[in-house]
Amino acid sequence: MTVTIKGVHYDISDRTREFLIEKLGHIDPFRDHLVTVDATVTKEKTEFIVESNVHFKWGATAHLEERAQELYPAIENLIHKLDAKISKEKDKVKDHRAKDAKDAKEAAEKVAE
């Protein structure tokens, strides 16, 4: 998994980078399912926008965004969204594979009869 962190109208400090990497540690159990995670921190006049693009190994992508007055709460909320999205995508893949296996088993049983 490759992690890219960049800032738009905002210089990412070492403290912010470390905080973001530490929080991304929450998705370590899903590391095998991810190809890249791109995080962007944008500073606007009155708020921070923290965005993430996630690319899964099965080709799906997800774009998540969080806006807040303070940077660190925005990062934490984004990580919660990211965790939920990765779990949901992982479950979709599991359900799809289970359905295909069930359909194949039923077809084999019909052929055997």
Q: What is the pLDDT of residue 32?
A: 85
Question: What tens digit of pLDDT does each residue of 4-58 get?
Answer: 999 999 999 999 999 999 998 888 888 888 999 999 999 999 999 999 999 999 8
Q: Render pLDDT for 44-88 as a digit per residue (tens, 0 to 9).
A: 999 999 999 999 998 889 999 999 999 999 999 999 999 999 888
pTM of the model: 0.77
Q: What's 2-86's CATH class?
A: alpha beta
DSSP 3-state of 7:
strand
CA distance linking residue 15 with residue 36, whole number of Å: 22
- Tokens representing residue 62 in the block: 């997800």
